[in-house]
Amino acid sequence: MSNPKQTYRVCFCFRRRFRMAAAEAPEDIKSLFQQYSENGFMSADDLRRFMVEIQKEKSTTVEDAQAIINSLQHLNIFHRRGLHLDAFFKYLFGDINPPIDTSRGVHHDMTAPLSHYYIYTGHNSYLTGNQLSSDCSDAPIIKALKSGVRVIELDIWPNSTKDDVDVLHGRTLTTPVKLIKCLRSIKEHAFSASEYPVVITLEDHLTTDLQAKVAEMITQTFGDMLFSPGGDKLTELPSPESLKKRVMISTKPPKEYLEAKVHAEEKNSKEGKQLAEEEAWGRDLDAKSRTSDADNQDDGEDDEDNDNDDVDHKSQQIEAPEYRRLIAIHAGKGKGGLDDWLRVDHNKVRRLSLSELELEKAAQTHGKNLVRFTQQNLLRIYPKGTRVDSSNYNPLIGWMHGAQMVALNMQGYGRSLWVMHGMFRANGGCGYVKKPDILLKAGSNDDVFDPKAILPVKTRLKVTVYMGEGWYYDFRHTHFDTYSPPDFYARVGIAGVPADSIMKKTKTLEDNWIPTWDEEFEFPLTVPELALLRVEVHEYDMSDKDDFGGQTCLPVSELREGIRAVPLHSQKGEKYKFVKLLMRFEFI
């Protein structure tokens, strides 16, 4: 096969030519092929041995191996005697060999209470862009539901004539969308990606008569789909299994509209501090607290304080009773501080909301209390008010403390959101991931998991980054460099508890569309149940920021051992058509 040449124009009279190398099997792959083949061909029985011993797919039969061989018939490389090296390499680097087995579908136990699951949660789900001036629309809600998001947040306000209900980010320049339009879109798309329940969290800024109107809208829109305990507070949360194809409403018990408005305006005056500038693809994750004085103020958008019995009693006198009956999961904070907020009442369950800053402070002083609270109740975390650009925070801080609803801005992008995508690739992408047992159980003396504890290493993940390809087809040929092919390097690491979180990088390979790094990395894991494998590719740029070349994030608990083709995604999380890496995963 002759290698084509690629020409780059350096100036009007001078051109540089580079030979385009074809993808070639790395030495490891050639060696394994020799080991598992005879006379240059790998039979179905040979392939079965390779699948069992190297790919760790113990239940593979000769028939399974033959089906893989048959699946390559459409290629010119098919041979009746089996796979030769080129066909074997194409199989390993093909879509048929992904790093996660999507055919498993939902495989976690779905019969435990909702508090036992991480739930795919959006923040201000109706915004199309930034938090201050973007349009409000049902389009991002539809997109979120189609991608498997299970918790949709709506801020509801009286419209300009005070006779209907709008969804918008209050006291900003965001243009509103009608609540009824959002509700109808939720109904239409709620179960397009997953049949497990959708929770609608309402930020309520309404008068009593408009609350009654909302109750009518919700009842008429969802009908029998609505799960409502009829105003009684739940003593235990139902399971995702029992709530299939159901919609739940979660909000704080209503308060007088003016009281809420005054409180919110006081908080709003503290907003607007500028965020630290982030890299084009988002600042790197850090599981440790990293806040500055400028950040230490919240927008109070979700402030659910004063949910104590006195206020509860008062609110019942001024609220629409039909609205209260719709609330399946009551939210509230209580008057006291963290000790009061995190108090566990075995006679009722509730939802507590904390900002990312409140969570970071609580994690320092009340880490075990957070874990204990989330074994029975729901904890929702939301971004601080200064994130006006719709950026996000590290979701692992919430997850390692048991928080089920870690709410991110889905309209943003960056590393935090990539980690969120990775977490919810688990369990068939159904939007519910069972929390690890360490977060669900109390040990001797009623002791619970301590996220700050340094634990012994449980397992080691060895990752080999062989090579990558596909950029030549997914990007313009001058996208990375005007005058030469790209200089790629890969970053590989772990997002998890602080002791496990690390990033490493390969060498940079110059002027190569098909980089072959062939490098090994080892990651000791103390809490592998919470670990996510992060993979990024960048193009080295001497004079400017390095260019982005793709990313993915994969739950370590679902990684398939062996040699796998790992598809990469764009900054926005969209899968590229051709870009992928050939990698090997081993637990040692």
Give the rounded distance of the alpha carbon of 36 from its chain centre: 38
169 is catalytic: yes
- Encode 448-484: b = buried (16+ Cβ within 10 Å), e = exposed: bbebeeeeeeeeebebbbbbbbbbbeebebeebbeeb
Residues facing 524 on adjacent strands: 460
**Token pair for 255:** 């308060």
Of the residues 116, 169, 366, 538, only one is catalytic, namely: 169
Q: What are phi and psi of 371, to 5 degrees?
A: -60, -45
Spatial strand order of the sheet with 459-469 comes to 502-505, 488-495, 532-539, 547-555, 562-569, 575-587, 459-469, 516-525
User: Which H or E element spans position 552?
Assistant: strand 547-555
State whether residue 55 is helix, strand or coil: coil
CB 108, CB 432: distance < 8 Å: yes
Query: Taking a C-beta distance cutoff of 8 angstroms, is the pair 271, 386 a contact?
Result: yes
Check 79, 107, 116, 123 and give the catalytic one: 123
The single residue listed with the structure tokens 């009007």 is 12
Strand partners, 538: 489, 548
CB atoms within 10 A of CB 73: 10
d(CA 343, CA 346): 10
- Which secondary-structure segment (H or E) carries 473? helix 471-474
Distances (CA, A) of 482 to 539, 546, 571: 13, 14, 22
Active-site residue 108, yes or no?
no
CB 527 within 8 A of CB 507: no
- Cα(579)–Cα(472) distance, rounded to whole angstroms? 9
Q: Count CB atoms within 10 A of the CB of residue 121.
A: 29
The contacts of residue 27 (CB under 8 Å, 6+ apart) are 518
Inter-CA distances, 20 with 16, 52, 93, 161, 514, Å: 13, 36, 19, 65, 9
The answer to whether 533 and 568 have CB atoms below 8 angstroms apart is: no
Catalytic amino acids? Answer: 123, 169
